[in-house]
Structure 1
């Protein structure tokens, strides 16, 4: 298991993609998969914003505007996640439409983050510092998971709290 923050973030990104595939399959227990996605997605975003993004802003070759944009995209993802979680009928067309919006929002963010922030960090941030950030990222992520960050009430509160970050 690596402690490189970049590799840890990328592993989470691949997990999100796997969970999206599971959510698209209507033979799965979509409510259960959505609960796992919600927990993992919120914990990941909050750990990045608490531990990784502030540290990366200090490196001149990591674009601070891209880091701020990443936080805005987290807020958009929280909004899309909440909208999906509030639909009870996982077999409805409305649920499918909101799933698609969530997938698009998150995949857009993953793509941009990987191409900009993470590539810049890979080239700029020393291995030792990436390992330190990886440890902090995992600790923060696990703390958020243990606190139940994926439940509907918390996601609702998070979406409200971060709504002003969204650049419309």
Structure 2
């Protein structure tokens, strides 16, 4: 298995850093769909990057944007719910034994659907207000905080199935994931 390198910025405008990760997620999803690609490497990289990205957003970015009145409580909670749904889909993908099965392909598509929906909404309802209603200095400070937390999570092997299970269990306990009956 070849390891996929995950970029590790340490500073920058938080909006740009988050957008860079969104483009990384899109590339890794393309690799997961490609039977000739290193699907195992792409799955491991996507798991680590996605968990680190979302956890850092929830800890550092969303609360700061609320304090600055760039987003409201509903937008923050909706973003967290979508992270939880994506993390559940990620866990389903990680639980696939191989990368050459229909179950794997189905899990990739389920994750892609959840992730692409979230990326679109986040870029419009959270990142746009961050661009227009938050100063450049605050975005830079948030970028440093987000990148620091993201890199620390990557160092903790946050993409491991055990770590992802804990994140999903925490979301279930918090009520962020609705049961199948609610859908």
Please, what TM-score do these two structures have when normalized by structure 1?
0.96
Specify which structure has the higher proportion of helix.
Answer: 1
Alignment equivalent of 2:27, drawn from 9, 13, 18 = 18
Following the alignment from structure 2 to structure 1, what is the Cα–Cα distance between the partners of residues 55 and 69?
23
Displacement after TM superposition at 1:59 (Å) = 2.3
Alignment equivalent of 1:138, drawn from 147, 165, 171 = 147
Contact 1:4 1:134 in 2 (8 A): yes
RMSD after superposition: 1.2
Task: Tell me the residue number matched to 2:67.
Answer: 58
Deviation string for 1:28-72 (max 9, x for gaps)? 121111000000000000110111011011122423311210011
Moved segments of 4+, more than 3 Å: none
Task: Tell me the residue number matched to 1:99.
Answer: 108
Displacement after TM superposition at 1:113 (Å) = 0.2
Displacement after TM superposition at 1:160 (Å) = 1.1
Task: Tell me the residue number matched to 2:43.
Answer: 34
Following the alignment from structure 1 to structure 2, what is the Cα–Cα distance between the partners of residues 76 and 85?
14
Task: Tell me the residue number matched to 1:155.
Answer: 164
More RCO (CA 8 Å, sep 6+): 1
Task: Tell me the residue number matched to 1:47.
Answer: 56
Q: Does the residue aligned with 2:164 lie in a helix, a strand or coil?
A: helix
Q: Aligned pairs, how many?
A: 168
> Structure 2 regions of 5+ residues with no counterpart?
1-8
Deviation string for 1:85-120 (max 9, x for gaps)? 101121111111111000000110000000111001
Please, what TM-score do these two structures have when normalized by structure 2?
0.88
Contact 1:81 1:102 in 2 (8 A): yes
Q: Does the residue aligned with 1:165 lie in a helix, a strand or coil?
A: coil
Contact 2:56 2:146 in 1 (8 A): yes
Contact 2:70 2:134 in 1 (8 A): no
Following the alignment from structure 2 to structure 1, what is the Cα–Cα distance between the partners of residues 19 and 41?
23
Task: Tell me the residue number matched to 1:78.
Answer: 87
Change (3 A) 1:41 1:61: closer
> Structure 1 regions of 5+ residues with no counterpart?
none
